[in-house]
Amino acid sequence: MKTQYFFVLLLFIINKSYSQFNEIKNFQKQIIENEITGSNTAMIYKDGKTLFYNIENSGKKGDKNISNQSYKPNLETIFPIWSMSKPITIVAMMILRERGMISINDNLSKYIPEFKNMTCKGEKGKYPCKKEIKIIHLLTHRSGFGYYSDQGYGYGFTNTLTYNNLKDFAKDLSKVELEFEPGEKYYYGLNQALLGRVVEIVSKKSFYDFLKDEIFDPLKMTETKFYLTENDRSRFQPLFINTGELKGFTYELNELTYKKENNAFFGGEGLVSTMSDYSNFCRMLLNGGVFNGKRIISQKSIDLMTKKYSDSYPKEEYADIRKLGFYFGFSLFVLENPEIDGTNSSKGIYGWSGYHNTHFWIDPEKNLYALFMSRSRQGVSNIDVQKEYRRLVYKSLKQP
């Protein structure tokens, strides 16, 4: 009788758990069916435990099944995280700041003299900028740098076909005309890639070595790096692209070479990672800068990272129109007005997303973080994957 009761109770718990997150699972299937992503994976971590983890594999020709293999290194699927590299670079800068090695109000030219006399765009043409770029302008995307698709090579600045080190990259970037006076406006660009060079100069280490020593090793992020070994490439998720003109799974549009011998460590877009690695990074942030008893940064640094530096659209004309109700910190979105956002997300959540549909956010109020990883570029859908995923996460948390 006791055995029968236990079995019924177990079934109840399993069914309840499934039904609570059923809409998230259906959403993961839906975006595969609607050809927005290929295989994808999602997780929710709350109150010190993984509340939800689900992989949806497409089974389509050319796609790969995502594998977590119980978070075992050398078996887990690897994703390019693109702009989710940026918060990692920001944490690196906070480490240097806490040690008194930099000030966010320093002029960039203090570290890289080529940026002393920049040129700005104006209504009557270009002119010598009146202000200097400061470190805080790079941290907040208020420097006047954008992203550049062509610099005469057929490629943008942040690519590993043009550059094999950050010194040459920074030298060439110093010749670019700024879109406006530094500090004047929010304009999303390659600022964190340039901060990687600042880290190298200040720390006297390569940017990757600094990240490995100060962040990746302490956080046990063994799979997070700027390159792929031969074994890594067998676990690298293919890109699903659906732009109307191109559709299918490919490795031909990697854009970065991920070669081990290349030292152009672009801190705004260059890292690869896994679900478990980035989960450790999120856990550190959620825990006020501490992971497994080791402090990486202080809560004061996290407060500085999430402080308001730029408004959302339309107050900032170049801000992401999909982030209404948010403001922008150090390359982090922060929810200021949940009513405008309309997803029932907590006020004060912060996070970022990556070019190939990777997403994360931290929720200090509810003591949770959530992650979503796939590898896709969409051009024919209006669905905001990150926003819809957030809506379903908070809806599921309200389920009895």
* Cβ atoms 58, 335 nearer than 8 A: no
Q: State which of 203, 230, 261 marks the end of a domain.
A: 203
Query: In terms of domains, do 253 and 108 share one?
Result: no
Query: In terms of domains, do 124 and 170 share one?
Result: yes
Residue 176 CA to residue 314 CA, distance in Å, equals: 27
Q: State which of 170, 185, 203 marks the end of a domain.
A: 203
Q: State which of 203, 235, 264 marks the end of a domain.
A: 203
Enter the pTM of the model. 0.93
Radius of gyration of the chain (CA): 21
The H or E element containing residue 19 is: helix 2-20
Query: In terms of domains, do 391 and 333 share one?
Result: yes
Query: In terms of domains, do 55 and 135 share one?
Result: no
Query: In terms of domains, do 214 and 72 share one?
Result: yes
Q: How many CB atoms lie within 10 A of CB 74?
A: 11
Q: Which residue segment(s) compose the domain that 51 sits in?
A: 2-92+206-397
Residue 346 CA to residue 69 CA, distance in Å, equals: 32
Tens place of pLDDT for every residue, the chain, 400 residues?
A: 444 544 444 334 444 455 899 999 999 999 999 999 999 999 999 999 999 999 999 999 999 999 987 767 788 999 999 999 999 999 999 999 999 999 999 999 999 999 999 999 998 899 999 999 999 999 999 999 999 876 443 357 888 989 999 999 999 999 999 999 999 999 999 999 999 999 999 999 999 999 999 999 999 999 999 999 999 999 999 999 998 888 999 999 999 999 999 999 999 999 999 999 999 999 999 999 999 999 999 999 999 999 999 999 999 999 999 999 999 999 999 999 999 999 999 999 999 999 999 999 999 999 999 999 999 997 656 689 999 999 999 999 987 5
Query: In terms of domains, do 117 and 65 share one?
Result: no
Query: In terms of domains, do 184 and 117 share one?
Result: yes
Residue 397 CA to residue 206 CA, distance in Å, equals: 43
Query: In terms of domains, do 161 and 279 share one?
Result: no
* Cβ atoms 356, 249 nearer than 8 A: no
Query: In terms of domains, do 73 and 211 share one?
Result: yes
In the chain, how many domains are there? 2
Query: In terms of domains, do 171 and 248 share one?
Result: no
Residue 260 CA to residue 195 CA, distance in Å, equals: 21
* Cβ atoms 52, 43 nearer than 8 A: yes
Query: In terms of domains, do 178 and 250 share one?
Result: no
Helix 86-98, helix 275-286: angle, nearest 10: 40
Residue 259 CA to chain centroid, in angstroms?
A: 21
Query: In terms of domains, do 105 and 88 share one?
Result: no
